[in-house]
Every structure is written in C-alpha cells, then in structure tokens.
Structure 1
C-alpha cells in the first residue's frame, strides 16, 4: 500500500498567541526550544545544603543533601562532567540526597541540583554551589605550548616548547603535530622541547598540541596552537602537509594526492604573514538530518548501519519526501569513546563513504559539557573550545574527502536557569562562546561551514531581543547570523501556515539574512520526536500527525520560500524518531522499511551491569551489538529466575541506547535480566548472559494501575483508569499525571476519586481512522509508591476506522 493513499487527520486546537515567551528551563532530555504556558507559577523548588562541615573536602564519596517541593526526578550535575540521580525521601516534598564521587577532582568543583516541576514538567534548579576538594594526587598538569606562538610563521628546524606544571612531578611531556603520533618532548632550559622540521609541511597551517602526564598518571592537555609553516604559496610551494603526520607523505585515494591539500579550504597561506581565508562557498543543506550519538557511533563503527541511513535518506517514494543530503553527525563522547580521538580511522572511512555518495557531513556538537548547555557559561569555555578544536584538528589530520564539511553547534543557552532571570548575562556569554569558536576556526585556516541551531524566538522574545554586544543592539538571532555562516532555526511547529506556523516564524531570520547578504544561510528545522512527556506542548512536533501530514506541510514551506536567496533548506530532528514515524497512526499506517535483511544482530558486547538504585529501580547497562545492517533497539527482558522465557510477558522495555532504567519494581526482590538486540528488519539476536540485582528495602506500599479503558467518541479520546493497592486490591485515591499518545499528546493532571478512579480527555482529534493511547507518568499517594512494572496495560489504547 502506498503511503500517499493514507488519510491525513485534521486537528482542532485552541489558538495560541503569536507573542511567545521563553520558559526558564528545559526538561533535561529535550533538544528543542520550549514554549511556556500563558502563566507559569514557580511552584517547584529545590535547595542544596552546603557540603561537609566547612573547609576542603577529601576524596571519595560525599553525600549531598537538600530539600524540595513540587518536584520529581531530581539529579545532581557535577562540575559539567556528569549527572547523578538523587534519592527523594517523599513523593511531593521532603529531603533528597545523592552520593557523589569526588575522587577525580582536586580544587574547586561546581555542584547544582535540578528536577522537573510536578505541574509544568519544566526544569527547576537549585542555586549553584562551589565546593573545594583537597585531593592533590588527582591534580591534572597545566600544559601550554609557548613556542611557536599562534599564527607565527615557522621555517626550517624549529623547537616546539611546552610548559607543564602541576602539584605532582611531571613524568612525561608529548607533542602532536597535525594529528600525527604523540612524540616525547625532552626537558629543556625553559620547559620541554621537541625539534620540528617544518620543511615537509611548508605552505600550510599546522596544529600543535601538547599533553603532560604526572607521576600518578594524571594527564593534562594544552589548547591547540595554530602555526604557519614555510614559505607562502606565492613563493611557489603549493604542497601541503600529509594528513596523518607532520611529514609530507599523504596516503591519497581515489585520485587524490598530497598536492590536493594545497588550496584555500585546507589552510594554505594566502601570502607571507597574511591571515588565512576562512570563507567558503555557501551551499544548500536541503534536506538535513540531525543524528545523535546513540545513532552516530554505530554508523561510524558498524558499516552495515550505513546502508540503512543511505536507503532512508535517498527514499523519495515512500512518503514523498525530498532526499536528505546533509547529515549533522554527533561527535560527543559515547560509551567511553570519543570518535574524534579514539576512532579517527573509522570516522575517516565513514565520511569518505558519505562523500562518495554525494552527502555532506557536518559535526554536531553541544557544548563539551554534561549537561551540554553548560558550555555557554564562560567558566566552561575551555571545554566548549576544546570540543571544537577536536573537529578542526581532525580535519587538519585528514585527507580532503575524509573531512567534515561543517559544524552544527547545538548549545542551547536558554536551558540555563539564569538565561531569563539575569538577562543579558547568559546571552552575552553565549555570544562570546560562538565568537571564540569562530576565532579558532579562523586561526586553523579551515573554511568549514559553521552554524548554530537556534530557537525561532531569538528575534522576538523579550529574553532574546535588545542585546547589546560587540557595539550593536540587536536580537540574539541577528548577532548569531552576523557571526556564523548559517543558522538552523529550531522552527518547531506542526503547521506551516498561520502566525504561529513554520513560515511566519522564520520570516524575520530570512529577511535579515538577505539584508546582510548571506544566501542559503537560513535552514529551517522541524521536530518529529515525541516530546509530550516534557513541558512543551505537542504542537511543536509532527510526531502525532505522522509523515504524510508533515510532508504536506513542508511542501508549503518550500513553496513559500521558493526563490528566496536566504533559504538553505529544511532540517529534520532526528534520525531515530524520523525512521520510526509512520505515515499516520492507526489502521493503514505505513512505516518506512529498511532494505530486506534476514541476518540477526550479534549478542551485546562489553560488561553487563545491573545495579539497584533503590527499592523500585534497577539500572541496566551493556555494550553494543553488531549487525550486517542497523540495530534498531535493545530489548530488556526481566524475570525472577535465570530460566524465564523471552516473551512479551517478560519484556521490561526497550532502549535505543546502551542503558535502561527499570522502574516500578518490588522491594527486597532479586531480578534477572537478559538483553537482546533487534535490527531494523525485526530480526532479534541471541540473548545476553543473565545479570542479577536485588532491590532495596522500603516501608512504602506498592500501588498499581489495575485497570485502564480508552475510548474515542469521534472528536477526542477519554481514558478511565483505576489505582489500587498491589497486594490487597484496595482503591487508592492517588494523584495521577499522564499524557495521551500516538495521534494525541495532551498532558493531564488530576486526582483519582475515593474509588481510585481517574478520568481525563485528550485534545480534539478529528479523523475517520486512527489510534490514541494513554501513558501514566506520575502516580503518587501518601504511604505508597507506584510499582508501575506491574501495571495492567490492557485497554491503554484505542483504534478506530479499521
């Protein structure tokens, strides 16, 4: 059945004001701009107590504590490096604690707690807290390349001089030139020195990096220094450096030679002492696709996964989409790996493969921190710059066809708590960060296309307009457009027309791009992810409507901007959600089909771990499986003995990542887990060996959703569910929060009556056929906890029009 024959539903909603504000924060996993309700009360609160009795803390586990009210899912962010879950002693208010390992740190460490507001589901923050850790054995050396200096021209035999200091003795100092091998530097009068013969790399810009290791194995890294070498191109030498070392022997392929590096794009000097050209010809990115780390790493490491991405990107018949030609490939750390450092050979092979098929590949980054948007803060600038330099240095070390074509920066400063409360502090720090990145690009001599993902309201919101920076008073969007090669607007709406539609929301950025003469520099981004669990309304995503409706709306966008010089195409967020999105939900749904494949994936790899967090949660972790095509998901099976069958009754859930959080379990209970990979054709691989964990004790009683019924009346869906004590079956008048699914996305909150019954209705959905479900998300009652793993799920959805 052709997807074009499916029915596109119509939906009625209340009109939303075109003057949209900005919410204080985002739900942690959302990767798009938020839209606040008309009025938001700051009901949720989190406090954090001063750690320790005063004075520096020692290494090891430190218990952090605080209080909360009207908040759930509290986490603690540690120094922009990690996020740890907190234990909450109470359902709606009470105390929390988190045990944080400070062993990796010495010196000042920043701590902040965050959680989700029970009413709005947006993030609530504690104040930021600075603590001092006294742990000199983990102090990392401070490293700096002191000579040659940035943009200095080096000729002949020169000494690369490195300064390395620290609290512990320095055992080893090394230098890397143009991404080659790390080479030992010798102690010298003014630090450490490595002799470098620049003759082989004459006529280009080179990257110099240094690292130092102390007697305890701690490693510190320098910032990169970009140095010109040899004579200029006007003096007749157009041969640039080899891709993988500081010697002039490139491994050329497909007709390439080392001389092909001798052009403007790759850092060849324009003249003795002249600044390198850093502009490049603009190009249409239509259609572009964001690909995050859980998908990008399999693409790089598992060649079979590429056939699926290629097939989906090239498919213009199933849903009538335009072909996808640009991939924003996430390059952040994942599963302990950094592809830019640890898997350079595989990454080069992937990009070369993509280029051979006519695709553009841009590196996708988010700030270099965890959470990613911390990179917008000046105090985390070093991490943001280091992440960007990794891309520059990778390109300088690689052959032309193996290089990234650009960088897409998805650092979202409005996710920070003080973006709204302390305007324009974060706004200015964000702009300074982008400026610092562009300065590093200029210093490298590379001309990759650098752009930022920005929300559609950077030109209209009171929190983003009238920003005085760099001598000009402008909206944030215009400052960003002035500075970068392009922007990808997160123009997240599920309608093209109207004052709040995709077209009108992008007009301001289009007009400004034309005003400043930047053609094809405005890419319009749309959302396909299911976002209704967060605070943002479902109207920002096409997930409920499906692919046919989305493509019809995007056709309107193309028509509206046809011939507009500023239009750079449409980008879709993101690969995993787009691949799973059907033509419509319900009867007649058509899903995209990967190329036929009968071979199942391998078993999962690596260390398998099951760790009890508390009385109702166990965290499961595993390594990736391999497949001749692409792994679609991992099925996590749960039982109470090692010989349980792998069937639907024992399926705890699925994950597209290498972790799974199993919640709503019983206390004091031993659980056994087995994990199996499933590919895009539905083939299931062999199960893993069993792993076990036992939940902790609690005095709280388990309650469940014991019954659910969902109906559709021709205009909307209605759900009625029952909350009961798991052991006695007694009704529990619990507070219930949840959201409708499939064709609906409305989030509802309420309280079950004395009989334990809760009823809610969806938004209006008008369609002759379809499917709507309901998913509880919060169930709370004094003396109880929600044992959701034991909910009765029959009746949780309704289909009509079969």
Structure 2
C-alpha cells in the first residue's frame, strides 16, 4: 500500500467509533490506597470492576507491596487471590504494581537497596507459586524511576541508569530461578531514554534498547496529548516500537490524564473525547507493528475524577460558554 493510501486508511480508522474496530488492550495504573481498598472490600471491588469494564479497561496494574504499615500480599494473600479471581472471571489481566513514592522505591536502583528490590519482586513470585492459576498475577509492572532521585544529574545519570539495569537483571534472574515464565515483567520508562547512550556489560546503545533487552515488555511513559508530528505520542514511541519489533518484545504506550503545569504532557485539559480519538489514531498507526501491545492510562483515581469532570460529552466546554 502506498504512503498516501496508508494515510487515508489511518485517517478513516481514527474517526470510526470504538465499537467499529477491535480495540487494543487498555490498562490502568492503580496506586496504593485504591488497590488496598479494592482488595480489602468486596463492595469496592465489585464497583471498581463494573466501572473498569464500562470504560474498556482490560488490564489492571494493581499495587502489591507495603502501604501504611501493612503488606497485604504477605499478611492476607487470600484477599489478593479473591480479587484477582474476580478480575479474571471478567477476562481482565492483572499485573502486580511494584514501586511507590510512599516507599521511595526510586532508591532501589542503588546497590545499598538492591536486596529490598529483590525481596519486593520475590514476594510476588512466591505468591504466584502458592495459588491456583486463576488467582495468579499475569505480570509485574515496575515503577522504579531513577530520574526522580535527588542525586540525578548529568554527571550521575549513567551510573544510576546502569543501576536500574543491574536491578532489572537481578529481578529477571529471580523469575528464571522460580520458573515463573508466565509472569510478564514490564517496567515503566520515560520516552527520552532513547536519547541517552550507555555502555552496559560492554555494549553501547540507547538505554531504552538495553531495557527492552532485559525485560519482557516495557510501558513507555509517552506523556503527550498531541498524536502526530514533532514532540508527539507517535514520534516519541517510534524508536522503541522499531527496536522491539526487531527483537521480539512488546511496548505498551502509557498516557497521562493527571493535571500538570505542562499541558502538553497530559489529556487533563483536552478531555476524554480527545483521548479516545488519540487512542484510535495511535492504534491505527501501530496496529501492524508486532511490538505494539496497547495502552496504559495513569491513573485510576484521577481517571475517574477526570471523566466525571467532563461529563457526558467528554469534551471541554466551548470558549464563551457558561
């Protein structure tokens, strides 16, 4: 098909309603308080599942580590078992979300905190080994971001990124040690890692490529609301999608709906209608790429409030409207 023909096809697909085309997978990050509430309270769980399915969400990144003095996956694993089984009955996937501002897990890339990172991951692997298949996590979503460390700067970033890769290699070794082949391990990474060259284990390449090599999948924090052209969702995902195509890995496109001072990184102001249009356009552009594995939205609590704020139309009010 010619470039013009493909462009016309993409344009047509991007304006079709969601029901007119098979939708790509949609995940949502679900942080500490909301995850614990869903796991602890069956009524909250039931309402959350109803809402998620109504929004076309088929994958939940469910927090699965310590929070406010408790670690429910250790103390009450039967609660996770019941909720995961509920999600699986609705044909939804569940990833254990590992990483937390509450625990300052950005430090886990440092050698002094490596054991804590391994213990965090091992608890999920051990949980999976102890429960029936229908109660197991389908994956682990890592949110360990070295760039938010106070010590991150131009002089330290290569060391910290190498620490991130070392941590990832250690976690993947635990996966192999426990024969946890069905657990898809997927870190969240910023799109700009493809602009940093790093020599790791004697190989020099963009950090994004090292990360894709180490893990099963990546969730690319592709935080823009512009879809095409320069500084857009598609432009920032291009190198990761292309590399993952070559090496047989998967890339999930992460999008933001939370408020931010930089309006270009989030759909907060442009609304749900714009997000749905963006999802259709990106999916149409990437649907033939074998590495494209759908979308992830950040995050559950903000997403619900955001949808409610825009109401039935899903669009911002027209200028001058009351």
TM-score w.r.t. the length of structure 1 is: 0.36
Aligned-pair CA distance for 1:351: 0.7
Q: Which residue of 2 aligns with 1:546?
A: 271
Q: Which residue of 2 aligns with 1:452?
A: 187
Q: Residue 418 of structure 1 aligns to a residue in which SS? A: coil
Q: Which residue of 2 aligns with 1:400?
A: 133
Return the match for 1:425 from 159, 163, 170. 159
Q: Residue 563 of structure 1 aligns to a residue in which SS? A: coil
Return the match for 1:340 from 57, 61, 73. 73
Q: Which residue of 2 aligns with 1:391?
A: 124
Aligned-pair CA distance for 1:379: 1.0
Distance (whole Å) between structure 2 residues aligned to residue 445 and residue 295 of structure 1: 31
Q: Relative to structure 1, is the Cα distance of residues 306 and 418 closer, same or farther in structure 2, using a 3 angstrom cutoff?
A: same
Q: Which residue of 2 aligns with 1:302?
A: 41
Q: Which residue of 1 aligns with 2:11?
A: none
Matches within 5 A, 1:274-289: 286-289=25-28
Q: Which residue of 1 aligns with 2:302?
A: 577
Distance (whole Å) between structure 2 residues aligned to residue 299 and residue 516 of structure 1: 37
Per-residue CA deviation, residues 703-750 of structure 1 (Å, 9 max, x unaligned), is xxxxxxxxxxxxxxxxxxxxxxxxxxxxxxxxxxxxxxx97xxxxxxx
Aligned-pair CA distance for 1:308: 2.3
Aligned-pair CA distance for 1:391: 0.4
Distance (whole Å) between structure 1 residues aligned to residue 42 and residue 194 of structure 2: 42
Distance (whole Å) between structure 2 residues aligned to residue 417 and residue 308 of structure 1: 39
Q: Which residue of 2 aligns with 1:596?
A: none
Distance (whole Å) between structure 1 residues aligned to residue 36 and residue 27 of structure 2: 18
Q: Residue 187 of structure 2 aligns to a residue in which SS? A: strand
Q: Which residue of 1 aligns with 2:215?
A: 484
2:96 counterpart of 1:363: yes
Distance (whole Å) between structure 2 residues aligned to residue 442 and residue 359 of structure 1: 25
Contact conserved, 2:273 with 2:313, CA < 8 A, in 1? no
Contact conserved, 1:459 with 1:477, CA < 8 A, in 2? yes
Distance (whole Å) between structure 2 residues aligned to residue 434 and residue 487 of structure 1: 12
Higher relative strand content: 1
Number of equivalenced pairs: 298
2:48 counterpart of 1:326: no
Distance (whole Å) between structure 1 residues aligned to residue 106 and residue 276 of structure 2: 31
**Bigger relative contact order, structure 1 or 2 (CA pairs below 8 A, ≥6 apart):** 2
Over the aligned positions, Cα root-mean-square deviation in angstroms equals 2.1
2:82 counterpart of 1:349: yes
Aligned-pair CA distance for 1:335: 2.8
Contact conserved, 1:285 with 1:325, CA < 8 A, in 2? no
Runs ≥4 residues deviating over 4 A: none
* Residues 509-518 or 576-585, more deviating: 576-585
Q: Residue 370 of structure 1 aligns to a residue in which SS? A: coil
2:41 counterpart of 1:312: no
- Which consecutive residues of structure 1, in runs of 5 or more, have no partner in the other structure? 1-283, 317-322, 593-741, 744-766, 770-799
Q: Residue 506 of structure 1 aligns to a residue in which SS? A: helix
Q: Residue 308 of structure 1 aligns to a residue in which SS? A: helix
2:107 counterpart of 1:378: no
Distance (whole Å) between structure 2 residues aligned to residue 768 and residue 353 of structure 1: 41
Higher relative helix content: 2
The structure having more radius of gyration, on CA atoms, is 1
Q: Which residue of 1 aligns with 2:204?
A: 473
Contact conserved, 1:369 with 1:384, CA < 8 A, in 2? no
Q: Which residue of 1 aligns with 2:293?
A: 568
- Which consecutive residues of structure 2, in runs of 5 or more, have no partner in the other structure? 1-22
Q: Relative to structure 1, is the Cα distance of residues 367 and 478 closer, same or farther in structure 2, using a 3 angstrom cutoff?
A: farther
Aligned-pair CA distance for 1:495: 1.2
Distance (whole Å) between structure 2 residues aligned to residue 348 and residue 285 of structure 1: 27
Contact conserved, 2:67 with 2:102, CA < 8 A, in 1? no
Distance (whole Å) between structure 2 residues aligned to residue 561 and residue 297 of structure 1: 35
Contact conserved, 2:146 with 2:152, CA < 8 A, in 1? yes
Contact conserved, 1:438 with 1:484, CA < 8 A, in 2? yes
Q: Residue 117 of structure 2 aligns to a residue in which SS? A: helix
2:288 counterpart of 1:555: no
Return the match for 1:526 from 255, 266, 275. 255
Q: Residue 572 of structure 1 aligns to a residue in which SS? A: strand
Q: Which residue of 1 aligns with 2:312?
A: 590
Distance (whole Å) between structure 2 residues aligned to residue 370 and residue 574 of structure 1: 18
Q: Which residue of 2 aligns with 1:443?
A: 177
Contact conserved, 2:147 with 2:157, CA < 8 A, in 1? no
Per-residue CA deviation, residues 90-135 of structure 1 (Å, 9 max, x unaligned), is xxxxxxxxxxxxxxxxxxxxxxxxxxxxxxxxxxxxxxxxxxxxxx
Per-residue CA deviation, residues 747-785 of structure 1 (Å, 9 max, x unaligned), is xxxxxxxxxxxxxxxxxxxx634xxxxxxxxxxxxxxxx
Contact conserved, 1:405 with 1:449, CA < 8 A, in 2? yes
Distance (whole Å) between structure 1 residues aligned to residue 157 and residue 230 of structure 2: 27
Return the match for 1:516 from 224, 247, 263. 247
Matches within 5 A, 1:618-629: none
Return the match for 1:413 from 134, 146, 156. 146
Aligned-pair CA distance for 1:285: 7.5
Matches within 5 A, 1:136-155: none
Distance (whole Å) between structure 2 residues aligned to residue 561 and residue 583 of structure 1: 30
Aligned-pair CA distance for 1:412: 0.3
